[in-house]
Amino acid sequence: MADQAHLSIVIPTLNERDNLRLVIPALLETLRTLALRGEILVIDGGSSDGSAAEAELQGARVIVVASGGYGEAMRRGLHAAAGEYVVTMDADLSHEPEVIGALWAARAPRTIGIASRYVKGGTAVMSRSRWVLSRLLSAVFSRGLALPVRDLSSGFRIYPAAEARRLRATANDFDILIELLVRAYKSGWRIVEVPFHYAPRRSGSSKARVIRLGRAYIGTFARLWKLRNTAPGAPPPEAPAALTRP
């Protein structure tokens, strides 16, 4: 369609009112700077702090998903997006709007562009335990699943919208990020990474939490290994319980 939006920016959100007040105007300015027709689409997970109302006030389109986790928010965002391409990102100010220009430059059909902490030029500010877990999981998953990706858990990405919807990811939570890569790559997609500086709003986690996450991701790896090695058309393995992104 001639008047189709160039880009939808999808933001899964839960209780991020104050951050949305800052990030949405910055994203609208980014769209203007890049001369793109676009929209900000906030997928609100039932916030209790007025996030949905604030997002609408700042000019975003809001879809409330009161049940389901991050995976469901991603599915709803991809399916509702009006743009030819979709950028997914966090609301917590750890994903800088200026990086969208680099992601937009990396766009292509059947291609996922990832803002990566772990390629040359990328950096990450986080606790030592989280950094070790993130790097270890990325290394294990990329090797074990034969994916040429350094930063599998980065949710700051660009997808071709219509093609991404056909990937039919089923995961419930942050594991959807890796599942989308597996489904795309085994279908012949390209995956490209552009460097970015990650500085989370919050840092630090206890050793017990890191150990629990590591154990949970073992189950995720088993499911995605089966998916990676399943013949096209076969039923996908069952999604695991909710996970937290490293």
Number of structural domains (the chain) is: 1
Q: Are 43 and 63 within 8 A, CB to CB?
A: yes
Q: Does residue 154 lie within any of the structural domains?
A: yes
Q: Does residue 139 lie within any of the structural domains?
A: no
Q: In what order do the strands lie in the sheet with 157-160?
A: 61-64, 38-44, 5-13, 83-88, 157-160, 111-116, 190-195
Q: Does residue 80 lie within any of the structural domains?
A: yes
Per-residue pLDDT of the chain (246 residues; tens, 9 = 90+): 457 899 999 999 999 999 999 999 999 999 999 999 999 999 999 999 999 999 999 999 999 998 778 999 999 999 999 999 999 999 999 999 999 999 999 999 999 999 999 999 999 888 887 788 788 888 888 888 888 999 988 999 999 999 999 999 988 888 899 999 999 999 999 999 999 999 876 444 444 444 555 566 677 778 888 888 875 554 444 444 444 455
Helix, strand, coil percentages, rounded to 5, for the chain: 40, 20, 40
Closest CA to 67 of 52, 45, 47: 45
Q: Does residue 53 lie within any of the structural domains?
A: yes
Q: Does residue 225 lie within any of the structural domains?
A: no
Phi-psi region of 215 (alpha: psi -120 to 50; beta: other; left: phi over 0): alpha
CA distance 120 to 101: 18
Q: Are 116 and 193 within 8 A, CB to CB?
A: yes
Q: Does residue 25 lie within any of the structural domains?
A: yes
Q: Tell me which residue range forms the domain holding 81.
A: 5-127+148-202
The model's pTM: 0.85
Q: Does residue 72 lie within any of the structural domains?
A: yes
CATH number for 97: 3.90.550.10
Q: Does residue 208 lie within any of the structural domains?
A: no
